[in-house]
Amino acid sequence: MNVDQLDWNALERLRGAFLSGTAGRAVYWKSMTDLASYDASFGERIGWKWDAVLAELRRRGWQPPAGSVYDFGCGSGIAGRRMIREWGVKHLPVLRVQDRSSIAEQFALERAKSEFPELAVERFTADEPLTPQSGPATLVVSHVISELAPADRQRLMEWLPRFDAVIWVEPGTHADSHALVEVREAVRTQMRVVAPCTHEKTCGLTAPENGRHWCHSFGKPPGGVFADGDWVRFAQRMGIDLRSLPYSFLVLDRRVGVACGGDEAGEMSRVLGHPRVYKGYAKLFNCCARGVEEITLQRRTDPGLFKRLDRGTHCGLFRWVLDGGTVREAAEVGGNPEETILGEAEDPIP
């Protein structure tokens, strides 16, 4: 990012719309300059969240079907480009984009074609039929759920099962997380739940007593960001903590016979949000097939894991041996201890 090339007025206007919750009331893209400034700054931060999600899917042994990517509500197109970057043009040779702003569609198409010259790019409409002749298709949705009117959100949920796979990423706020849980519950009988869940049963967060909790994880910015003067200046002017990358996500798959990285034995768990780490023990809010519950890990049980929990460098997926609510044995599932980092939980800025 080069801060001297950013349109600060546009970024401050966009930030104001995101913070106030008014972004869904009207088209907020005014020019290609708006999109270029956003893509290099806020959009890149969204890209880091997508990097974390796609890295987890690889750890779980899952990949999208070879075919087309449909980027719904594409904005600057960061989600679609991250998909192509992760799996390559040979696997995903076609990118289709849709946005209520034709300027955004144009920007997303031009930027994708510039980065991937061999990629086929085109627009699509939300009522475009998908047929067997269309070939395998993956839908990506990114940071739109708070901007959708209830009727529009319902139409999108009804649209999801038309795709072979869906990857949906949102900010890691309480409201957006619970909105994704509603999506999960509405479509889980039509599509298999791949992630973030370790099971396909009813989400434990739907229980009334768990309403104050929410499902969110944390991404990690590239290491050089904190020493990059442009990023530091951007964060200071926008009032953003670069360490904070909370996100919520949902991955669905309707293909038959495709491994979805789940845990049929019901033994894999996911830690939601921040572990609460004290002097000799940590409290973890744990999600698994049994539901969601608070469990305790003593430092002496696994000093290495205790340290990773304290530093926020755990992978989030575990297999526990529990004695009541206390961990007796622990194992991370496919984790890279440098993959994640913890930041502030509530972050309404994309």
> Average pLDDT in the 36-60 region?
94
Asked if 189 and 313 sit in the same domain, the reply is no
Asked if 141 and 280 sit in the same domain, the reply is no
Tell me what pLDDT residue 328 has: 93
Asked if 64 and 94 sit in the same domain, the reply is yes
- Residue 40 in any domain: the answer is yes
CA-nearest of 77, 101, 98 to 27 is: 101
CB 180 within 8 A of CB 145: yes
Residue with the larger pLDDT of the pair 269 and 20: 269
Tell me what pLDDT residue 338 has: 41
Confidence of residue 29 (pLDDT cuts 50, 70, 90): very high
Asked if 216 and 282 sit in the same domain, the reply is no
Asked if 119 and 96 sit in the same domain, the reply is yes
Q: Which helix (H) or strand (E) holds 311?
A: helix 303-311
Asked if 20 and 111 sit in the same domain, the reply is yes
pLDDT at residue 153 tops 70: yes
Domain of 316, in residue numbers: 268-332
Whole-model pTM?
0.90
d(CA 252, CA 180): 12
CB 339 within 8 A of CB 238: no
CA-nearest of 138, 211, 215, 232 to 172 is: 215
d(CA 217, CA 316): 8
Asked if 106 and 131 sit in the same domain, the reply is yes
CB 122 within 8 A of CB 109: yes
Tell me what pLDDT residue 7 has: 94
pLDDT at residue 77 tops 60: yes
CATH number reported for the structural domain that contains residue 79 in this entry = 3.40.50.150
> Average pLDDT in the 118-137 region?
83
- Residue 20 in any domain: the answer is yes
Tell me what pLDDT residue 98 has: 94
CATH number reported for the structural domain that contains residue 307 in this entry = 2.40.50
